[in-house]
Structure formats: structure tokens, C-alpha cells
Amino acid sequence: MHTKTAEFVSPKHPDKICDFIADSILDEYLKFDPDARVAVEVMGGHKAITISGEITSKVTVDVKKLVSNIVGEGYTINVFATTQSPEIAHGVDIGGAGDQGIMVGHAFSETENLMPLEYELARNLCKNIFKKYPYDGKVQVTVEGEKIKTVVASFQNTKSEELETLVKSLIASQEYLINPAGVWMIGGFDADSGLSGRKIIIDNYGPEYQVGGGSFSGKDYTKVDRSGAYMARKIAVDLLKEKGAKQVDVKLAYAIGKPLPVMAIALIDGVETNIPEKYDLTPNGIRGYLKLNEVKFAETSSWGHFGNNFNWDY
């Protein structure tokens, strides 16, 4: 019987704060300019935040003020952003992808929201602990089949005995490791640095399943490593329901400046098939089909990009 492990981190983890900042910047530009081109990375920690990347927009956003409102006063905030390269912009302007890349989407019948069991157990545990302890923290869940073998939980500003009582009330396991390195009171940016796009496995489906490799937060829809991954998930969900399958895996691949993917396949319970032609897989088609203009991307940055009732989840 296969043993699987998945982890999850709270929204106050340094990497996730950076993801939230990146997507909040994106949202602010898109609010006033739906066609803004944004691709920013964020690094933060120890009273300093650095934003770097490309921003091309008809509007101006006070990025420093926006970030200060998120992290609080007392931070040095540096912004290093240029407009999109004209060579890249030329291909995007005619509807092409903003970069080459491979995108992967999955759907699973083992949970109600069509996500892997071990991933859902970890996410739900982290969410429920965070309700009581809204601080930096992380969890890990190991399963053997449907049996939960080991649960790990480390959360800032907790007493281990009280945290253990809470965890045991939330999930039944053969073994519990609660604050295994001891109680800790310093967390977030005060304890460590963070980087947007670093929790790519948590943002996807956990370590058991393929990801395309591109990160999500801080990128507009023309960056198909984000929008293409969302579309791959939507197609996987649709096919799982239509075919009554146990698992569907969808793979897309794009070339920079070209609107249509160079690869578009689905594996339905391991059997390869073509993607139905009803799906418009161009960047513009994906934006329209998934109604990405209506999405608040900051909402995707904290608790995973899939299985959270987003437009691509049902």
C-alpha cells in the first residue's frame, strides 16, 4: 500500500506573505487596468521587502504604500520594476503566450473537491489550527492508503500541550509530533526570509503529482504558467466527472509568442487522449472561459490554488 506525505503552511509563513504581496500588487493594477502586464517576485524578511519584475500598465500604483499596508510600518521597501520587454510584448500583443512552459492539472475522485487525500488532510488541518492560532506555522500529514500514520504540527505562539489537544481533536493519527523542535515565539519575517513562488508544491497538489514548474503569484493571465495550469485543472475536473474516472491528468505546453499550445493531452486513468476541441486554449480564450477578469488573485495565494471552489474547480 502506497505511503504518501503532504505538507501545508499558514498564510503567515514568510513565503506565503510574499505570495500575498505579489498577488495584491497584481490585483491593484488589474482593478484599474484589466490589460496590465504584471510579473513580479517578492522577497521579504527582517524589516526589508524587495519587489522585482516587470509591470506595464496605463495606471500608476503606489506599490510601496500598498506593501506597507500589508506588512506594517518600519519596513524598507524597494521596488525594482521595468516595463515588459518589447520583444516579448510583440508576441503577447497578438495573443500569444508570454513565455514557453509546461502546465499540468489533476483531478482525483478520492475527495469531494477532487484533490489528493493527503493534501486535503494537511490543508484542512492547517486551516483549522490557523483559526485559533493566526500565526506562522506548518503541518505535515503521512497516510498509508486511507490510514493516517503521522501528523506533524509546528505553530508559532502556542503551548505544545494545548496545540496537541487541538490537533488530536481535528485529526486521528497513529502518531503526533507537535512542535517537535520545541515551543517558538519568533516567526514570520522576524524569524526568516520569504520568497514568492517558493511553495510551488503546496500551491499545486502536493509532492506526489507532477507540476509544470512555473510559479503563480504575481503574474497576469498572459503568463500561461499560471493561467494554463488553471485551465488544465478545469479540463481535468470536467473529464473526471464526464468519464466517471478515478484520476485525470492534463498536460499543456506553450511556445512564447504563440497562442495555441504545442501539446494538449489528457490521461484518463492512465490512458492518453486528446483534449476536446470545445476548449479555447489560447491565453485570451482561457481568460474568458475561466472569467479571470473577475478573480481576486490574492485570494488564491494563501490556501492553495486548487480545490478551493475557484472557477477552475467545478
With a CB cutoff of 8 Å and minimum separation 6, the contacts of 131 are none
- Residue 94 has which C-alpha cell? 497578438
With a CB cutoff of 8 Å and minimum separation 6, the contacts of 95 are 259, 282, 283, 284
Residues 163 and 128 both lie in one domain: yes
pLDDT band at 93 (very low <50, low <70, confident <90, very high): confident
Q: How many structural domains is the chain composed of?
A: 2
Residue with C-alpha cell 497576469?
220
Cα 79 to the chain's mean position, in Å?
23
Whether residue 193 lies inside any domain: the answer is no
Instruction: Tell me the chain's radius of gyration from C-alpha atoms.
Output: 20
pLDDT at 177 over 90: yes
Q: In percent, how much of the chain has pLDDT > 70? A: 99
Give, in degrees to the nearest 5, the angle at Cα 237 between 4 and 171: 35
Strands (E), 207-301: 247-254, 263-268, 271-274
Whether residue 256 lies inside any domain: the answer is yes
Residues 219 and 273 both lie in one domain: yes
Whether residue 135 lies inside any domain: the answer is yes
Which pLDDT does position 98 carry in this prediction? 86
Whether residue 70 lies inside any domain: the answer is no
pLDDT at 275 over 80: yes
Whether residue 35 lies inside any domain: the answer is no
Tens digits of residue pLDDT in 231-259: 999 999 999 999 999 999 999 999 999 99
CA distance 106 to 266: 9
Residues 108 and 236 both lie in one domain: yes
Residue finishing a domain among 155, 188, 221: 188
Residues 181 and 228 both lie in one domain: no
With a CB cutoff of 8 Å and minimum separation 6, the contacts of 106 are 116, 205, 209, 210, 233, 236, 247, 248, 249, 250
pLDDT at 71 over 90: yes
Determine the straight-line distance between the first and last CA of the chain, rounded to whole angstroms.
30
Which pLDDT does position 11 carry in this prediction? 98
Residues 253 and 123 both lie in one domain: no
Whether residue 18 lies inside any domain: the answer is no
Is-contact 140 154, C-beta < 8 A?
A: no
Entry field: residues in the chain: 314
Sign of the torsion formed by the C-alpha atoms of 82, 87, 92 and 93: positive
Residues 255 and 120 both lie in one domain: no
Residues 142 and 278 both lie in one domain: no
Whether residue 85 lies inside any domain: the answer is no
Q: What is the largest CA-CA distance in the chain?
A: 59
Is-contact 311 291, C-beta < 8 A?
A: yes
Residues 108 and 247 both lie in one domain: yes
Residues 230 and 156 both lie in one domain: no
pLDDT at 224 over 80: yes
**Residue 16: HSE in the Cβ half-sphere, 13 Å Cα cutoff:** 22
Whether residue 17 lies inside any domain: the answer is no
CA distance 171 to 115: 18
Residues 215 and 309 both lie in one domain: yes
Residue with C-alpha cell 524587495?
50
Which pLDDT does position 278 carry in this prediction? 95
With a CB cutoff of 8 Å and minimum separation 6, the contacts of 66 are 24, 25, 28
With a CB cutoff of 8 Å and minimum separation 6, the contacts of 143 are 3, 4, 5, 117, 118, 121, 149
Which pLDDT does position 86 carry in this prediction? 76
Residues 306 and 248 both lie in one domain: yes
Residues 180 and 222 both lie in one domain: no
pTM: 0.96
Q: Which domain holds residue 173?
A: 3-10+116-188
Q: What is the mean pLDDT of residues 52-78?
A: 96
Q: What are the φ/ψ torsions at residue 296 (nearest 5 degrees)?
A: -95, 105
Tell me the CATH number at 266.
3.30.300.10
Task: Report the relative pairing of strands 48-56 and 194-195 from DSSP bridges.
Answer: unpaired
Q: What is the mean pLDDT of residues 208-217?
A: 94
Is-contact 194 71, C-beta < 8 A?
A: no
